Amino acid sequence: MTTIIDGKAVASEIRADLTGAIETLADAGARPGLATVLMGDDPASQTYVNMKQRDCEEVGIEPHHVDVPGDAAPEDLYEVIAELNDDPDVHGYLVQSPVPDHVDYRDVIRRIDPMKDVDGFHPENVGRLVAGDARFRPCTPHGVQKLLEAAGVDTEGADVTIVGRSDIVGKPLANLLIQKADDGNATVTVCHSRTDDLAAKTRTADVVVAAVGIPELIDGSMIAEGATVIDVGVNRVDADTEKGYELVGDVDFESAKERAGAITPVPGGVGPMTRAMLLYNTVKAASLQEGVDVEL
């Protein structure tokens, strides 16, 4: 029997666990605040930002939002960032990506106060993570770790193949899983577009994490019998639905499920976890800035 790992359920447990910490902060007179910044009017980004705002309201985090016109100068965005860095009500914030082409996202990230960088993308936070002293674990890799834990997968000594080496998923996840830690201690292989014989790398893995952005790239023939499969991918493909598309992962769910011991669905797997871990990081940021110890 293949276990379908229910990301929605695990995420809702994490959100419920946060309420205690939020109450502790409230008792100390502090309400965690998360701001989103959206430059331009990309509809998908707008949806993501709206969801983050709604998530905040549901758990008792104060949502803030700033829109920046898509044709504004980079300096206008930097001004918003400087204001958020100084705003004591905003404990964490993020600039939704992608930003317009005339803005360098790395420049944007470098200007965010690392204490408020709840995405965990600032070089200081990346360095701390690599050094084994993470302040904010990036939300998607942290969510993957939590899903593995919830599925009862012991990463110690496990062979984990990560497909994708992006700065937001593949690289930080590899760095987390090789840490000398209870939720690390894995032997990690990281694959990318220049990897020779991808199937040979996935087929021998106890855990396969797909973060590629290519619909259903990884099928059942590439999965070892009984392996755990975590599908980070979210891809829109044309379909005969009301919206004219459907969401599929980077894994061919139907064939992979025949061989996997446990597998995440898309949607309903990693996506809800990413959102939950953003709330987690916001509560952690508030705790650090307010000097209030909370249980996380």
Question: Which chain residues interact with ligand NDP by CB under 6 A?
Answer: 140, 163-166, 168-170, 191-195, 198, 211-214, 232-235, 270-271, 274
The two structure tokens encoding residue 127: 């360095």
Check whether 165 is labelled as a binding-site residue.
yes
Closest distance between ligand NDP and the C-beta of residue 271, in Å? 4
Closest distance between ligand NDP and the C-beta of residue 89, in Å? 27
Closest distance between ligand NDP and the C-beta of residue 284, in Å? 19
User: Whose CB is nearest to ligand NDP?
Assistant: 166
Q: Whole-angstrom Cα distance, residue 58 to residue 53?
A: 9
Check whether 164 is labelled as a binding-site residue.
yes
Angle subtended at Cα 213 by Cα 99 and Cα 253, rounded to the nearest 5 degrees: 145
The residues assigned a catalytic role are: 52, 96, 119
Residue number with CB closer to ligand NDP (30 or 34): 34
Residues in the chain: 296
Residue number with CB closer to ligand NDP (59 or 168): 168
Residue number with CB closer to ligand NDP (80 or 169): 169
Residue number with CB closer to ligand NDP (161 or 289): 161
SS3 content of the chain, % helix, strand, coil (to 5): 45, 15, 40
Contacts of 118 (CB under 8 A, 6+ apart): 34, 92, 93, 94, 136, 139, 278, 281, 282, 285
Closest distance between ligand NDP and the C-beta of residue 7, in Å? 9
Name the DSSP class of 194.
T
Which CA distances in Å does 189 have to 49, 152, 177? 33, 21, 10
Binding residues: 164-166, 234
Binding residues for NADP(+): 164-166, 234
